[in-house]
Structures are given as structure tokens and as C-alpha cells.
Amino acid sequence: MPAPSSFPILSNPRQSSGAHPHEDFSRGRELEAKLRSVVRGEVRFDRASRALYAVDASSYRQLPIGVVAPRDVADVEAAIGACRELEAPVLSRGGGTSLAGQCCNVAVVLDFSKYMHGIVELDPERRFARVQPGVVLDALRSAAERHGLTFAPDPATHSRCTLGGMIGNNSCGVHALMGGKTVDNIESLEILLYDGVRMTVGPTPEEELRSIIAAGGRRGEIYAGLRRIRDAWADLIRTRFPRIPRRVSGYNLDELLPENGFNVARALVGTEGTCVTVLEARCALKHSPQHRRLVLLGFADPFIAADHVPAVLEHGPIGLEGFDGLLVDYMRKKRLAAGSCSASSARIPPPMPTPKRMNSNGRPAECRSQPRCAAARKARPGASGGCANPAWAPRSSSPACPMPGRDGRTRRFPPNAWAPICGSFIG
Ligand SMILES: Cc1cc2nc3c(=O)[nH]c(=O)nc-3n(C[C@H](O)[C@H](O)[C@H](O)COP(=O)(O)OP(=O)(O)OC[C@H]3O[C@@H](n4cnc5c(N)ncnc54)[C@H](O)[C@@H]3O)c2cc1C
């Protein structure tokens, strides 16, 4: 039996078809009329709009009940109020670049990207920005970059994804290495609940927590519930939550632990719109290094590349990303790799073979790619280092890598992390 809920839609039993009641929502016309009467922004229930919003970047497809593009916070409150009245589920949406179906459902989709995409405030001194949820990451980064600052997490979709969506998914990106995940960069959130309650949430010192609970009301009830969760599960959360830098799945209950300041805003990061609608976010901005160097390292397979990650990390890079050689092959095929390069930028050279494993003497344990080895030998005769594969040089002749260390001095790349440096350029 499902737990009793104050929202009928959550307590209704499943239909005989097996569908959850929200999937059989039948009051679409009534809801559309209601929304049109209370929302100033766009209300779109036509088939084409619903088809457009039936997908995100995943393989899932769910036809929404309708779409609302709110103009402001009052519109969001009005839209959610109308949905609540008619028991319609809601789903927030930013750029819709989610990969696991987070942005498609039988619900009223609230698209924040069309109108609610402003930067409310940017304070370079105190290094924070207040943004509306629909702001595209690159718009925030461009504004921050004028002050030598940046919002550190940067998914590959940075030119499309929104801060609301990044908060929903707890997004990372190449530079999360420098500045952490989205959860590490959110200071507070302005949120709206389905029942119409609006709150500002963030870290909550113990004394404040006690007074919020004592004040009662819906807010007190929610905080009391969160404290109960924390107290009941704190030890298990401490021992069982995996300590990996890119843990982005599941609810961030660890943010409610006393040592993390009972941070309700950060506990909501990664909830994929299932708990609240984010109306505004205060985000931390980090120093953006102005002089950068890119080093490309080629490996025979992802496992060998992964073996070398610790050695790369010793040099304190601000970003680290792996990508498949197939991508380069396709770029080459489409003449995207070399054709558009200027004289100052490096061309992407042909892939080089890499050893599978290093022996203790620094020599490769096994040669994996004979045809490629032959090609490489032709290109660099005499560089075999005791192996048939010329790319597998002994430690003494490992190539110098122009990667600066944390102290700014250029170091040779560690010999046991030998890899062909495909190219490097200053960008
Ligand atoms: C090619 C490709 C590459 C990618 N690379 C990366 C990567 O490098 N790193 C990475 O982390 N991710 C990556 N992603 C996944 C995705 O792009 C990111 O998670 C991105 O930050 C999502 O932003 P969005 O605006 O598109 O969010 P959406 O997909 O629109 O929404 C994401 C979630 O947030 C919720 N949400 C949106 N707005 C609000 C709001 N106002 N209030 C409450 N909840 C809200 C939604 O309901 C949904 O659950 C990639 C995706 C693709 C297609």
C-alpha cells in the first residue's frame, strides 16, 4: 500500500491498465482554460507543442498534458496553483538536454528557458550571482568572465543547458575538477512547492533550525521532517554514501548532516524537479584562470587511460576529459579536424599506439596493435626503446610534457604515465 498523501494523485491506486493515474489525465481542456485565465505567459496545449516537448536528449518519449512558458515568478505560482486545483502533475524544464528522461512525462511542462532566463544580480566582489532558472550556463559564464570569474561546472551542453536544469541534475563537466559539481556551487535557492508554499533555503544553523520548527506551519513541518530523516539515517549516510567526486545520483541527504550545515538548498540539488520548483538560485562564482594550456594524451583503450588518471591529477589540471578516438575519426572524415585549424592551433595528428600495461622496468607489457605499430615505426624509425612498437619508449626517453605543475613550473610528464602527446596548444 502506498503511504497516504495529502495529494490525491499520489494516493490513488493504479488503473487496471497498469498506468499511474496521472497518465490518464482527462481534464486537459478544463486545465487549459484555467491556465489561460491565470497565466500571462504562453499556454500551449496544441498537438505540435506537445509533440515538441515529448522528448529530451534521451530515448524516452512521453506526451505532456500541455506546456506553459511562464514570464515571471507570479506566472509560475499561478500555473502551479491551477495544476494543483485540477490535480495535474507538473514538470520543470530548462534546455531539455537530460539524458535519462528527466524532462519528459505526462505532466504540465513548465519551460523556464523562454522568458525566465535573466541574471538578477552579479557581485564580483563577493563572487556570487543570482539567476533565474532558465539562464543558459554560457550566458552566466560570459557575464562572470568579464570579472575573471566563472561558474565552474560545465557540461558539454554548456551553450544550451540552464542553471535550473543543472541544479535538477547536479551537473558536472570538464571543469568540475577545478570547482566541484553544481551542488558545491549553490549557496541558496528560492523554491516553490506544489502546495503553493514559497521558501528561501540554504544552510541552516542548528539554532535557526530549532526556531523554524518551533514556528510551525508548513515550513516548520517540512524542516521537522527533514530533521527526522537526518537523525534517523545520519550514521548510515556517513558510512554508506560513496565518497566519489562525481556522485550525482540520488538525493543528497548528506547535505543535511550537521557537519554540512543542514543545507536544504544543496540537499535539493540533484532532485530532478521531483521535490520543488526552483524560482531563483544564488550561485558561487570561482576564479577563472586566464591563461590555459591544453594537453592531449592518446591511449589504446579507456582502461589504460583510466590507469593514468592519478598521474595526470598530480599536476593539478583545472579540467580533465576523456573522449573516444572514434570522435576524432569522424571529425577527420567530415574534414572538421584539420580543415578549419588556423596556423596557431594544433592539428590533430593520427592516433598513436599505446602500451597496454607498463612493466616495472617501464617497458610495455604487451603490444596490442601490430598494424598500427608498423605504421608508427615507419613514421619514427629507431624509436623502439627495445620493443617492436616504436611508440613504447623506455623511461629515459619519455617525452617532456609541457604541463605546468601547481607551482607554475613546467614538468616532464611522469615516465610511468607515458603516452603519445597528440598535440598541445595555448588557448
Ligand atoms: C551531448 C550531451 C552531453 C552532455 N554532457 C554532460 C556533461 O558533460 N556533464 C553533465 O553533468 N551532464 C551532461 N549532459 C546532461 C545534461 O546536458 C546536463 O545535465 C544539463 O545540465 C541539463 O540542463 P538542462 O537545462 O538541459 O536541464 P533539463 O534537461 O531541462 O532538466 C534537467 C532536470 O532539472 C529539472 N529542472 C529544470 N528546471 C528546473 C527548475 N526550475 N526547478 C526544478 N527542477 C528543474 C528538470 O525537471 C529535470 O529533472 C549532457 C547531455 C548531452 C545531450
Picking from 69, 221, 82, 92, the residue whose alpha carbon sits closest to that of residue 164 is: 92
Distance, CA 160 to ligand 1 centroid (Å)?
Answer: 9
Find the range with the poorest average confidence among 55-59, 237-241, 278-282, 398-402.
Answer: 398-402
Pairwise pLDDT comparison (223 vs 339), residue with the higher score:
223
Q: In this structure, which amino acid lies at residue 150?
A: T
Find the range with the poorest average confidence among 11-20, 122-131, 150-159, 215-224.
Answer: 11-20
Tell me, what's the pLDDT at 340? 45
Q: What share of the chain in percent tops pLDDT 70?
A: 74
Q: Going by CA atoms, what residue is nearest to atom 44 of ligand 1?
A: 273
pLDDT at 423 over 80: no
Find the range with the poorest average confidence among 39-53, 74-88, 309-323, 398-412.
Answer: 398-412
**Helices vs. strands in the chain: H and E counts, helices first:** 14, 15
Cα(77)–Cα(192) distance, integer angstroms: 8
**Mean predicted lDDT score pLDDT of the chain:** 81
pLDDT band per the 50, 70, 90 thresholds, residue 337: low
Grid coordinates standing for 256?
543535511
Q: In this structure, which amino acid lies at residue 280?
A: E
pLDDT at 276 over 90: yes
Atom of ligand 1 nearest to the CA of 182: 11
Q: Going by CA atoms, what residue is nearest to atom 11 of ligand 1?
A: 171
For residue 153, how many other CB atoms are within 10 A of its CB? Answer: 27
Cα(216)–Cα(326) distance, integer angstroms: 58
Instruction: Kindly report, residue by residue over 166-196, the tens digit of the pLDDT.
Output: 999 999 999 888 999 999 999 999 999 999 9
Pairwise pLDDT comparison (4 vs 111), residue with the higher score:
111
CB 403 within 8 A of CB 413: yes
CB 30 within 8 A of CB 38: no
Instruction: Kindly report, residue by residue over 59-109, the tens digit of the pLDDT.
Output: 999 999 999 999 999 999 999 999 999 999 999 999 999 999 999 999 999
Tell me, what's the pLDDT at 338? 55
Tell me, what's the pLDDT at 381? 37
Distance, CA 276 to ligand 1 centroid (Å)?
Answer: 16
- What average pLDDT does this structure show over 12-31? 75
For residue 129, how many other CB atoms are within 10 A of its CB? Answer: 24
φ, ψ of residue 266 in degrees (nearest 5)? -70, -30
pLDDT at 275 over 50: yes
Distance, CA 286 to ligand 1 centroid (Å)?
Answer: 21
Find the range with the poorest average confidence among 117-121, 140-144, 202-206, 244-248.
Answer: 244-248
Grid coordinates standing for 296?
592531449
Cα(67)–Cα(113) distance, integer angstroms: 12
Find the range with the poorest average confidence among 90-99, 262-271, 307-316.
Answer: 307-316
Picking from 257, 251, 167, the residue whose alpha carbon sits closest to that of residue 209 is: 257
**What is the value of pTM for the model shown?**
0.80
Tell me, what's the pLDDT at 16? 60
Pocket of ligand 1 (CB under 6 A): 56-57, 91-99, 102-103, 112, 133, 155-157, 161-162, 164-166, 168-169, 171-173, 272-273, 277-278
Picking from 68, 76, 57, the residue whose alpha carbon sits closest to that of residue 107 is: 68
CB burial string 11-35: b at 16+ within 10 A, e below: eeeeeeeeeebbbebeeeeebbebb
Query: For strand 108-111 and strand 90-93, is the pairing parallel, antiparallel, or unpaired?
Result: parallel
Residue spans of the domains in the chain: they are 8-111, 119-287, 293-426
Report the CATH number of the 8-111 domain: 3.30.43.10
Tell me, what's the pLDDT at 398? 35
Tell me, what's the pLDDT at 372? 40
Instruction: Kindly report, residue by residue over 33-59, the tens digit of the pLDDT.
Output: 999 999 999 999 999 999 999 999 999
Report the CATH number of the 119-287 domain: 3.30.465.10
Q: Going by CA atoms, what residue is nearest to atom 22 of ligand 1?
A: 165
